[in-house]
């Protein structure tokens, strides 16, 4: 079986694609190819036993090529095209944590940079008046990392719009929240998504909390209105319009602890 998975970064594409591979025992896994030549070579491959995960972020500037992949113009003969969507607000919180990995992978950073970055997330856990807006501002001012650029780019919105114009018989839709909560009864892909969710050691860093709603615990005074201002349009398009009720504090293992692990892994090669 040959399966294509399309989604925006930090929306569960890794765990969903690896679960499909594990459930169906598919031998070949292809992580985020970015060139047309990959699909040309895949079409010439005799074995028809592949999971291919691509990020919409890499292809949204090349819509004709993306259409060629989804509409099988490369003759790759995917048995399933699977589109993944996630609450854009949850995606943003996930990016806010994960951005440490590419930043510290790029080059060797000073120890003070590491300490200051991790401290931002410790303050997010412990200080009632230090919220998401404060982290975003500090990352921009201290490290020149502008997370609001991800909001303006709105890959989630563009993917949702892209999905809406696809013929219904060209794809299956999986909502990250339904997958993570095992709310897939009656879903056409239920039989493909009930196996192990193990992503392997090399990709373990992509797993933060596995809780699709824990992002709401990060919102402090004023953050909720900031989220409404920045995400109301995208949430309306993706269908995530309510604020989940979360009555538990931020788990440090999923916040500063996770960021520290990312930085440690990213820095190991320097």
| Structural domain for 237, as ranges | 89-151+208-267
Domain boundary pick from 183, 205, 227: 205
Pair (76, 134) in one structural domain: no
Say what the pTM is: 0.90
Pair (69, 95) in one structural domain: no
H helices, E strands: number in the chain? 13, 5
DSSP code for 147:
T
Strand runs (DSSP E) across 57-211, as ranges?
80-85, 172-175
For residues 137 and 238, what is the distance between their CA atoms, to the nearest angstrom? 26
pLDDT of residue 153: 61
Pair (127, 13) in one structural domain: no
Pair (22, 81) in one structural domain: yes
* 105-114, 160-169, 257-266: least confident range: 160-169
Pair (147, 212) in one structural domain: yes
Pair (27, 61) in one structural domain: yes
Pair (143, 236) in one structural domain: yes
- Cβ pair 108, 249 in contact under 8 A: no
Q: 121-156 pLDDT, tens per residue? A: 999 999 999 999 999 999 999 999 998 876 656 788
- Cβ pair 74, 68 in contact under 8 A: yes
Pair (108, 237) in one structural domain: yes
Pair (139, 228) in one structural domain: yes
pLDDT beyond 60 at 243: yes
Q: Pinpoint the alpha helices (H) of 25-87.
A: 36-44, 56-59, 63-70
For residues 229 and 211, what is the distance between their CA atoms, to the nearest angstrom? 24
Pair (144, 218) in one structural domain: yes
Pair (44, 140) in one structural domain: no
Contacts of 8 (CB under 8 A, 6+ apart): 55, 56, 57, 84, 86, 91, 155, 156, 159
Pair (142, 14) in one structural domain: no
For residues 242 and 246, which has the higher predicted lDDT (pLDDT)?
242
- Number of domains into which the chain is organized: 2
CA 166 to chain centre: 21
């Amino acid at each position: 079986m040959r399966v294509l998975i399309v989604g925006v970064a930090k929306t569960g594409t890794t765990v969903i694609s690896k679960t499909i591979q594990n459930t169906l025992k598919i031998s070949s896994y292809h992580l985020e190819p970015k060139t047309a030549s990959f699909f040309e070579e895949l079409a010439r491959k005799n074995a028809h036993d592949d999971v291919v995960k691509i990020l919409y972020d890499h292809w949204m500037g090349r819509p004709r090529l993306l259409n060629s992949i989804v509409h099988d113009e490369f003759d790759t003969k995917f048995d399933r095209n699977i589109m993944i969507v996630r609450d854009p607000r949850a995606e943003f919180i996930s990016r806010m944590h994960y951005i440490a990995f590419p930043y510290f992978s790029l080059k060797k950073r000073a120890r003070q940079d590491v300490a200051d970055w991790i401290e931002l997330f410790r303050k997010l856990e412990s200080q009632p008046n230090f919220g998401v807006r404060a982290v975003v501002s500090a990352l921009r001012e201290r490290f020149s990392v502008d997370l609001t650029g991800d909001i303006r780019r709105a890959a989630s919105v563009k993917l949702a719009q892209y999905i809406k114009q696809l013929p219904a018989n060209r794809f299956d839709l999986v909502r990250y929240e339904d997958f993570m909560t095992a709310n897939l009864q009656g879903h056409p892909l239920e039989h493909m998504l009930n196996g192990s969710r193990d992503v392997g050691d090399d990709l373990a860093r992509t797993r933060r909390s596995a809780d699709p709603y824990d992002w709401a615990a990060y919102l402090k005074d004023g953050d909720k209105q900031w989220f409404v201002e920045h995400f109301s349009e995208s949430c309306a398009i993706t269908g995530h319009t309510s604020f989940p009720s979360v009555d538990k504090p931020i788990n440090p293992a999923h916040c500063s602890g996770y960021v520290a692990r990312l930085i440690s892994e990213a820095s190991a090669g320097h």
